[in-house]
Structure 1
């Protein structure tokens, strides 16, 4: 009988507190994907909206309040107890230092109290592997498009822990371009999803916005210039209509600018992803991270991939944003692959900046 491990995962890198429990095989080299038993998530969005962005100190304090009740919620849902846990995993980085320290501290305290090993996990590796929890999990090797918050990266993935960076954002990431453009339009934080919903009623060809680095000859990204172009275009629209605020413009114009902004971001992401697949000779694409939930991005990637006989894999929509399930999954897959061993040493540190390709 194959021995099973129960891995508790804690995510606290930014403004979401996530806890999850997965079951994986203890045998190194097992081909089985860890199975998600239960997960719980608390978002701090409402708290940070009043400030127009994440306030690190408030985020850290809220993680302290939420993490243990969420842990109990997960254990109850999975019909388990603390004593059933075999490994405690946590997000070690990248992220906000104070927020990371909460998750790391709680995880290591639990590990010490239960005499269980702990394992620090890379936040972006969690996102990258999260499609393995979907109904249509990928197979190695593949190209990964990571579009999560402040990160936009293309990676070649040959296995767990075997990552090669192909290209990345050199200034604003795609998620930042969505959120900052939305803020210029007067949308509440976080504005990216609101901009995407507004774009559904707009004309993506209404305004000629730039596609930065679209023809750069490499796989890097740059969206800071697009944000500036959105600002300039919105100022022209305000001047033409003689109004002081973007919200005072006709709704159709607002939706058109949102749609044009979204189209510019998506065009770059799709073109670079297709180029990465061509250059690597791979025919499988994994899309992960919060922006991976964007409907227009999924539609355009699906259409481009269908023309090239490429398989595209996404996380389930509820696992696109930060969550504990991806952290527990990544820990389980690392243990199964033999890439890393959990440790009984409970001294810990965090890595607010931690390149994924250095794993």
Structure 2
């Protein structure tokens, strides 16, 4: 199986992006993503609308992935899908489709942990990037997760610390909402932050034990700060938007980097890989590049296309599991709180 050519069809439907990819072993042949714009008017993902949109998108997305890869479904070796974690309704669409297709084609079915896939996306073959060497530390940062893990092997991962309340992506999005920015606001905070002064306003760094995180207090302090300042000056947000965004981003990046430095000190591992939607943030990327230069870390930052939810990362886990014949049964069910 090691030297064989295997084609994996991967399906990702954990939140509001429907994605399908075809991998030839570790090489991505296609990675199609259909985003759902409908949630913008509600200021957040509406689960019921998300699952309906997945039902509409999944067949065309899979069809497009096969066409782009120039692969017939009869050439497929296995079907990998996101089992969880995520929104239950969204996961059910991808899980049901993958099970039906695998049954119809007589192919092995492979379940994938979405957060594990964000980490293993670093093992997608790319001429410009080399994968991290084991053991390494992984920082998974997204709208629903903030975790530091020790990764000893493809499937041996230990959570060293995680958020006790809100995820870092939520902190970005909720701060953006307070500033009147449209959903999803996290990327907009990043965009404005690049033009502002990160030391313009000071926000508190939460004191949290060990390698855990907390972002709920920071969110509240940003809300009270903006309310207080706009009471004094109704135009405060518009007059100071870039500086507020830069200060918020600086604080969040500082929190993440403090915990990473602590984890490097505790474990003696200085190879760091990041994954998840927030790993597209320019502030965290810059801080990690600086750490590589100043602290001697070896840093692995994924391509932008593998940061947000995508099926290519599901496909690489699918391939690695396929080689070990780690197949799922047909009675497998979606799991909204699927953990390592």
TM-score interval, normalised by the smaller of the two chains: over 0.9
CA contact (8 A) 1:283 1:311 kept: yes
Once residues 18 and 133 of structure 2 are traced to their aligned partners in structure 1, the CA distance between those partners, rounded to angstroms, is 29
Once residues 176 and 100 of structure 1 are traced to their aligned partners in structure 2, the CA distance between those partners, rounded to angstroms, is 20
Once residues 252 and 267 of structure 1 are traced to their aligned partners in structure 2, the CA distance between those partners, rounded to angstroms, is 25
Question: TM-score, normalising length from structure 1?
Answer: 0.91
Deviates more, 1:261-270 or 1:196-205: 196-205
Partner of 2:272: 285
Partner of 1:342: 327
Partner of 2:192: 198
Question: TM-score, normalising length from structure 2?
Answer: 0.96
Partner of 2:134: 140
Aligned pair 1:37/2:22, yes or no? no
CA contact (8 A) 1:63 1:99 kept: yes
Once residues 86 and 261 of structure 2 are traced to their aligned partners in structure 1, the CA distance between those partners, rounded to angstroms, is 29
Partner of 1:308: 295
Once residues 82 and 323 of structure 1 are traced to their aligned partners in structure 2, the CA distance between those partners, rounded to angstroms, is 20
DSSP-derived class of the 2:197 partner: coil
Aligned pair 1:233/2:234, yes or no? no
Once residues 316 and 228 of structure 2 are traced to their aligned partners in structure 1, the CA distance between those partners, rounded to angstroms, is 48
Partner of 1:167: 161
Structure 1 segments unaligned to the other structure (5+ residues): 25-33
Q: Displacement, 1:250?
A: 5.7
Which of these residues, 267, 282, 286, is aligned with residue 299 of structure 1? 286
DSSP-derived class of the 1:332 partner: helix
Partner of 1:28: none
Which of these residues, 96, 109, 116, is aligned with residue 125 of structure 1? 116
Q: Displacement, 1:249?
A: 3.2
Once residues 261 and 2 of structure 1 are traced to their aligned partners in structure 2, the CA distance between those partners, rounded to angstroms, is 49
Once residues 330 and 257 of structure 2 are traced to their aligned partners in structure 1, the CA distance between those partners, rounded to angstroms, is 43
Q: Displacement, 1:141?
A: 1.2
CA contact (8 A) 1:156 1:165 kept: yes
Partner of 2:87: 96
Structure 2 segments unaligned to the other structure (5+ residues): none
Q: Displacement, 1:227?
A: 0.5
CA contact (8 A) 1:11 1:323 kept: yes
Partner of 2:261: 274
Aligned pair 1:251/2:252, yes or no? no
Once residues 237 and 178 of structure 2 are traced to their aligned partners in structure 1, the CA distance between those partners, rounded to angstroms, is 16
Once residues 226 and 324 of structure 1 are traced to their aligned partners in structure 2, the CA distance between those partners, rounded to angstroms, is 33
Once residues 292 and 158 of structure 2 are traced to their aligned partners in structure 1, the CA distance between those partners, rounded to angstroms, is 22
Q: Displacement, 1:217?
A: 4.8
Deviates more, 1:318-327 or 1:250-259: 250-259
CA contact (8 A) 2:110 2:322 kept: no
CA contact (8 A) 1:161 1:334 kept: no
Q: Displacement, 1:142?
A: 0.3
Q: Displacement, 1:104?
A: 0.4
- After the TM superposition, which parts of structure 1 deviate over 4 Å for at least 4 consecutive aligned residues? none
Cα RMSD for the two superposed structures: 1.4
DSSP-derived class of the 2:292 partner: helix
DSSP-derived class of the 1:4 partner: coil
Partner of 1:352: 336
Once residues 272 and 287 of structure 2 are traced to their aligned partners in structure 1, the CA distance between those partners, rounded to angstroms, is 13
Question: In 2 relative to 1, CA 292–277 (structure 1 residues): closer, same or farther, beyond 3 Å?
Answer: same
